[in-house]
Structure 1
Amino acid sequence: MRPTTAWQAMVQSPLSFLTSSWPWRSLGYLAGGVVAGAVVTALLAVGLAAGLVFAVAVVGVAILAGVVLGSTEVAALERARLRLVDLDPVPDPHRRPETPGAKAWITSRLKEQVTWRELTFTLISAAALWWLDLLVLLFSFGLPAVLIASIDGETWLWTVFSACVLLASPYTVTSWAGARAALTRTFLAPRDQELGEELREVRASQARLLDSFDAERVRIERDLHDGAQQRLVSLGMTLGMLRLDTPPDSPQSGLLAEAEAQLAIAQQELRALIRGLNPPVLADHGLVAAIEDYAGRFPVPVTVDLVLPARLARKLETTMYYLINEAMTNIAKHSGATSATVHGRYHSDLLILEITDDGHGGVDAEAGTGVTGLADRVTALDGRMRVSSPVGGPTLLHVEVPCRFA
């Protein structure tokens, strides 16, 4: 496994580590820490001193606020520098202000907990971290250089000691660089609650999208039923009246018969479309009856073994219906299966669903196929989905969705 941190590189292969770029990256990380730390310490000292001197005036408060906000830039620099010894990027935990403008940005930053955590890290870095960086570098390189320059031939033990320190310097430097990086990541990486808030927003957005899709589907079904279907019925009546006035043996009679046949096909397809958009059996009898009805009309033989203790909530029921519908459509289009099974049970507040087919398999859940749409539906319900589809089949789609009955 390719190492992603300096620590991993040193532990996995201590000898080849010496010929890799990791010791040099660690050296650059600590040297940059010394330079950045010295500059930040100087600016921080000036800012704090000026803020305290002018604390009685408004300008002092503004200076202290600037120190706090400046810590966010220090944190951004440290996140960027961290890539030298830790290849896993640290995302910016700050949220985008709700409104544009400097005032909104300042207000948003001062209210965020992460800003004060970054200020704490900046103070720790100024008070200790860059000094430790400097001490490690001085011990690893400065001390041996001074000893070698000052010793004479009679103090050969110091020469050996200096050589040992220099030989160990890659490990010394990398060890502290790894520890410093771990501390930096602890302070500056997004916390669980910050990520959790973003995830809650994403899930809420997905739920709103599902609701809007359901509402739009109902609207389309109503428009088709009250609009296009009624016009087709009216057209059928008009053709029927024309047939009454047309001689049976005339050329127009044949054309009317063909038009009526095409109209009957269009009406049949429109009814199937309307039934698929908002199936009455789902609204009247629930998910089990709706799936059994759909399976009865499916081109591939489907065994339905779906047992639920009661009706599901409307939103969950509708979403699960279209999830099963889409999964079965994928089977008919892509799998080459001769049979399929829909198995579902309720257990420990989970609706567990398994859809299997005996097709040729080879479904790649990461390739952006129809499985992606199924995963999006499951994620919006706070559920999880797994796909097992070896080449040659069979294919198993396993879905678990939180579900509670009153």
Structure 2
Amino acid sequence: MTSDVPLHLASALRRRDYLVSRWPWRSLAYLATTLPIAGVLSIGLLVVGAPLMAVVNATRQGRPVELPILVFLTVVALTVLALAPVVSIAVAAIERWRLRLVDPRPLHRQRFTGLVARYRDAGAWREVGHTFLLGGLVPLAYWLLFLIGLLDLTLIASPWLVGDADPVIVVWTTVDTARQAIPYAAVGILGVPALVYLAGLLAAGQAAVARRLLDGAADSTALREVARSRARLVDAYEAERRRIERDVHDGAQPRLTSLTLQLGLARLDVPDDSPAARPLAVAHEQAKGLMITLRQIVQGIRPQHLTELGLAGAVRELAGAATIPVDVHADLGQPLPEVVETTAYFVVSEALGNVARHARAGRAEVRLTRSAGSLVVEIEDDGCGDADPARGSGLTGLADRVAAVDGRLLLSSPPGGPTLVRVELPCPR
């Protein structure tokens, strides 16, 4: 089965049913909850920024600025910068919580390792940048959206605003009667959907920037070198795995098949009452069992239906064999690298196994999407939630498998559910 449920606001905006979906209301809630946060931050920045701009303008115009004022502004600015990493802790925590309104995909959280370490951490300063963005640029964008909305409301209400002696200025012209205002009101009504889309775009853009800045993934020279070393090890492992698979498939399997056939023919030639009949029958059964075991080993190295059907088809086979209904949504486009395909397959297989064993779920959904140079695999269920890698649910091994190909695993599993496992695998086009 396939599912076309939008994953987040940005994807919902591209759908034809956006206006009649829940997403406009979610974007409105996101914008509305931004207002008090951005308002408080903008006031704080204005207290420092307005005098500072006044001093800059005075300097540009050649007017002298007294030294005490410069010292005071310098001290205040340095104090703001010093407190910013501390204030941004709360702002970032609230933003991560609010972000679920328009983008429920889990974020890699920034670990708190102490105040001193926070001043040296690049992720903390990205959170500071997000805080200044909320207090500086976001209010300007919201003010522009408010003016556009006010203009549209004026157009709609213009027939009722026109009085007998009081003309109304509508955009670039003046209307004196309600009849003259009706066309402008019609334009205003037609502009409401565009305004809804504009609000959605603003919310989606703000959410995208917030996700970019608040994602706690670290990046340093040492980590990049570790990643490159790990990539070399993975490539060597994949080459050795393919060699073993080829040797087993082309060498050991045919010889074992021939041996099994020979034993079967020998059983036909030996009478049932012969002393050699029973040992020969046991050897024949053991050879057949060994063939099954060897086939399972080859299947574990790389499943045959993954080679034949590709990732989407193989995942649908897994969904069909699951003990609960599983919807599969696949948007992959071009063929995937073999190592990415294999890793994604085993991720889905292990995750669906965890759902069957632990989640007590009624339904599950698998989403495979390829975008921005990565393959995103999401497995979501409506079970009891509260998944914890520390309790041996298989998530630790799954994270290790994903990390081996330079990917990452994110988990969202509040008590009571739902549980969402999101895996991002590098996949250059």
Q: TM-score range by the shorter chain?
A: 0.3 to 0.5
TM-score (norm 2): 0.43
Higher relative contact order (CA 8 A, sep 6+): 2
